[in-house]
Amino acid sequence: MSFRDFTFPDVCDRFGLKLRQARLFDAVEPVQVPPYLKRKIEQGLRLSQGLYNEKARSEFVVAPLLMEVWSQADERFGLFSGTEMNVDQPRGLNGVCDFLFARDPLVFVLKAPVLAVVEAKNDNVWNGFGQCVATMYAAHLMNEKDGSIDKVYGASTTGLNWKFFELAGANLTIDADDYALPKETEKVSAILLSLV
């Protein structure tokens, strides 16, 4: 078993997470994004729709957006792609993560604290919920062992649609709002910046 084998809401029962829904990012104001980013996202969405696979969406839409957020944050955090995170293999808390944000800007080795995870899915944002929450829970355990931050954030995305989560201890909050690119690129960028 690995992160991608978890389903939602079963993952909550398995790890004793209390689930609730709230508007997590009402106070986050959209940020200005360069025109080239919107153009790149629109192109990426067209390309990935034609290829219709998770890897294409991840490379053509999600990665450019995350790299822009990394740049806007003056590269003060680590951005990892396709990194293996093995926290507790017997419990299935292991595997390759699509994207991870870590507080340490050094990108040679993943270390706590892990701030956020982003899981890219092909066709349905809901399909990434189980994997995203399992990865967030693993990051929480990793951070707890290190004695660092208590909250971990996550997002499940198709590139076009985005759904955010917050995990604080055993409390998992699903953001009541949904976001769609390219229309809400400024808001999604601001949310991702707020996580780091």
* 26: confidence class by pLDDT, cuts 50, 70, 90: very high
* Amino acid 106: pLDDT: 85
Residues 30-35, mean pLDDT to the nearest whole number: 94
When the pLDDT of each residue in the chain is averaged and rounded to a whole number, the result is: 93
157 DSSP β-pair partners: 120, 162
- What is d(CA 101, CA 75) in angstroms, rounded to the nearest whole number? 11
* 56: confidence class by pLDDT, cuts 50, 70, 90: confident
Model pTM? Answer: 0.94
* Amino acid 55: pLDDT: 86
Say which CATH number the domain at 169 has: 3.90.1570
Number of domains composing the chain: 1
* Amino acid 102: pLDDT: 94
Domain that holds residue 9: 3-85+93-195
* Amino acid 148: pLDDT: 76
Q: Answer whether residue 52 shows pLDDT above 80.
A: no
Residues 115-138, mean pLDDT to the nearest whole number: 92
